[in-house]
Amino acid sequence: MLREILRSMRIYQWTKNLVLFAGVIFTLKFLEPARLVDAGIGFLLFSLAASGIYLLNDVVDVERDRLHPEKRTRPVASGALPVRAATAAALALLAVGLGGSLLLGLRFGLTAVAYVILTIGYSLVLKHVVLLDVLSIALGFVLRAVAGVELIADRSAPGSPPIEISAWLLVCAFFLALFLAIGKRRHELALLETSASRHRAALGGYTSKLLDQLVAVVTSATVLAYSIYTIAPETAAKFHGRPLHLTIPFVLYGIFRYLYLMYAEEKGGNPSEHLLRDRATLVNVVLWAGAVLLILSWPAP
């Protein structure tokens, strides 16, 4: 049963929560070991709470998941993990994740609570409403980014300069998550075909043409938002003129690679798995992160 609980926790999905480290990186606190430790603990606690939501979602969607060619093999849907045990494990993970987050920092903990509330709302209502489903997923990524910054603010010494959240950074997180969510819906629609609406009501309101149009719009918005963020005067002032715009090619390649996987190889159903399994994507992310850290650690001009 423990093995099935670990499978249901979907630890590979924790890669989404790496967005929390944006706070310690883009506030230039990554050179402080104590702040890195705080970010690591925050990442773990936030991920445990997220896994609790995954388990609750499996319980709520058990009948729908049994209609899905891939999700029907999940422990709860397949019957390998009883619903009662899954519910108990979910509540325990939420208690540890949220309780620990509140102890680590009040603002960080409240942001984690807001994320859980949003995710529960998504599981119960929002994921069944066309467009609101993908928008709520994107908002979840924004809350992850906010949580990372609030954690640094909570753990900063009294009297330290206030930690500010870049609006452009949040916009980048929102559009990137929206891009991935729309790609996932496109994959689900193609995979389930005529039974799509039975698995998820919102899928019945989408068409391939609509999703392709949304992909085109959000792709442009994502690239534009990140480019503006890197060259904006406030970004240049914050990072003392360091050339963050040199990382734009990595973002372009990452988006192009995902579009290739989506359209040429008919993938895109699970971005977290693609990050771990697609070597080109993984190498690109590592290179982007390395370039960001290198640029931000350069001596200021």
> Are 13 and 153 found together in one domain?
yes
> Are 228 and 209 found together in one domain?
yes
What's the pLDDT band for 206 if we cut at 50, 70, 90? confident
pLDDT above 90 (res 222): yes
CB 230 within 8 A of CB 245: yes
Q: What is the mean pLDDT of residues 1-15?
A: 92
- Give the rounded percent of residues in the chain with a pLDDT score beyond 90: 61
> Are 125 and 231 found together in one domain?
no
> Are 141 and 262 found together in one domain?
no
Return the pLDDT at 238: 87
> Are 14 and 131 found together in one domain?
yes
**Higher confidence at residue 119 or residue 204?**
119
What's the pLDDT band for 262 if we cut at 50, 70, 90? confident
What's the pLDDT band for 50 if we cut at 50, 70, 90? very high
- The count of domains in the chain is 2
Looking at 158, 174, 200, which one is the last position of a domain? 158
**Residue numbers of the domain that contains 137:** 1-158
Return the pLDDT at 127: 86
